Chains A and B, each alone.
Chain A
Amino acid sequence: MESVKSEKQSKTKTTLHISGAEAIVRCLLEEGVDLIFGYPGGAIMPVYDELYKFQDSLNHVLTRHEQGATHAAQGYARVSGKVGVAIATSGPGATNLVTGLADAQIDSTPMVCITGQVPRHLLGSDAFQETDIIGISTPVTKWNYQITEASEIPEIMAKAFYIAKSGRPGPVLIDITKNAQFDSFDFSYEKCERIRSYKAVPKPDEKAIETAASLINSAKKPFIVFGQGVILGNAEEEFKAFIEKTGIPSAWTILGLSALPSDHPQNVGMVGMHGNYGPNVLTNECDVLIAIGMRFDDRVTGNLDTYAKQARIIHFDIDPAEINKNVKADVAVLGDAKETLSLILDKVEANTHETWHQEFAKKDKDEYEAVIRHDILPTKPGLTMGEVVMAINEASNKDAVIVTDVGQHQMVACRYAQFKKSKSSITSGGLGTMGFALPAAIGAKMGAMHREVVAIIGDGGYQMTIQELATIFQNKTPVKIVVLNNNFLGMVRQWQELFFEKRYASTEMVNPDFVKIAEGYFIKARRVTERHDLNDAVREMIKSKEPYFLEVEVEKENNVFPMIPSGASVSDVRLK
Chain B
Amino acid sequence: MEEKRYTISIYSENNIGLLNRISGIFLKRHINIESLNVSKSEIENISKFTIVINTTEDWAHKIVRQIEKQIEVIKAYYHTDEETIFLQTALFKIASNLLFDERQIQNIIKESNAEIVTVSRDFFVLSKSGRRHEIDEMHEKLEPYGIMQFVRSARLAVTKAEMPISRLLHDFYQDK
Which residues of chain A have a CB within 8 Å of any CB of chain B?
Answer: 134-135, 138-139, 142-146, 163, 194-198, 319-321, 323-325
Contact = CB atoms under 8 A, between A and B. Distances in A.
Contacts of B172: 194, 196
11 contacts: A134-B17, A135-B20, A138-B21, A142-B71, A145-B17, A197-B12, A197-B71, A198-B71, A198-B72, A320-B65, A321-B66
Closest 7 CB pairs of A and B: A321-B65, A197-B74, A143-B71, A196-B172, A198-B71, A321-B69, A139-B24
Contacts of A321: 62, 65-66, 68-69
Given A138-B20, A139-B28, A195 B62 contact: no
Given A138-B17, A138-B20, A144-B17, A324 B62 contact: yes
Contacts of A144: 17
Contacts of A324: 61-62
A323 to B, nearest CB: 8
Contact of A320 (B13, B28, B68, B71): B68
A319 B69 contact: yes
Interface string B60-102: 0110011011011110000000000000000000000000000
B40 to A, nearest CB: 16
B108 interface: no
A204 B28 CA distance: 30
A91 B28 CA distance: 24
A139 B69 CA distance: 13
Nearest to B58: A324
B73 A197 contact: yes
A156 to B, nearest CB: 11
Contacts of B69: 319-321
A1 B39 CA distance: 38
Contacts of A134: 17, 20
Interface of B: 12-13, 16-17, 20-21, 24, 28, 61-62, 65-66, 68-69, 71-74, 169, 172-173
A356 B158 CA distance: 54
The winner among A135, A143, A194, A197 for most chain B CB atoms within 10 A is: A197
B71 A163 contact: yes
Contact of A325 (B62, B68, B173): B62
Contacts of A323: 65
Given A319-B69, A320-B68, A197 B13 contact: yes
Query: Chain B interface mostly helix, strand, loop or mixed?
Result: helix
A163 B71 CA distance: 8
A142 B169 CA distance: 22
Nearest to A321: B65
A134 B17 CA distance: 8
A567 B13 CA distance: 41
Nearest to A319: B69
A196 B20 contact: no
Contacts of A142: 71
A142 B20 CA distance: 13
The winner among B20, B71, B74 for most chain A CB atoms within 10 A is: B71
Contacts of A319: 69
Contacts of A135: 20
Contacts of B28: 139
Nearest to A163: B71
A171 to B, nearest CB: 12
A55 B169 CA distance: 43
B24 to A, nearest CB: 5
Contacts of B20: 134-135, 138
Contacts of B74: 196-197
B144 to A, nearest CB: 44
Contacts of B173: 196
Nearest to A134: B17
B61 A197 contact: no
Nearest to A196: B172
B157 to A, nearest CB: 22
The winner among B24, B65, B169 for most chain A CB atoms within 10 A is: B65
A194 B169 CA distance: 13
Nearest to B27: A139
A146 B74 CA distance: 21
A143 B28 CA distance: 17
A198 B169 CA distance: 11
B152 to A, nearest CB: 28
Contacts of B17: 134, 138, 144-146
Given A138-B24, A196-B173, A320-B65, 7 more contacts: A134-B20, A138-B21, A146-B17, A197-B13, A320-B68, A321-B62, A323-B65
Contacts of A139: 24, 28
Contacts of B13: 197
Nearest to A139: B24
Contacts of B169: 196
A324 B64 CA distance: 13
B73 to A, nearest CB: 6
Contacts of A145: 17
A323 B24 CA distance: 21
A194 B71 CA distance: 11
Nearest to B73: A197
A324 B73 CA distance: 21
Contacts of A197: 12-13, 71-74
A47 B28 CA distance: 35
B52 to A, nearest CB: 21
Nearest to B28: A139
Contacts of A198: 71-72
A405 to B, nearest CB: 26
A163 B72 CA distance: 11
Contacts of B62: 321, 324-325
Nearest to A320: B65
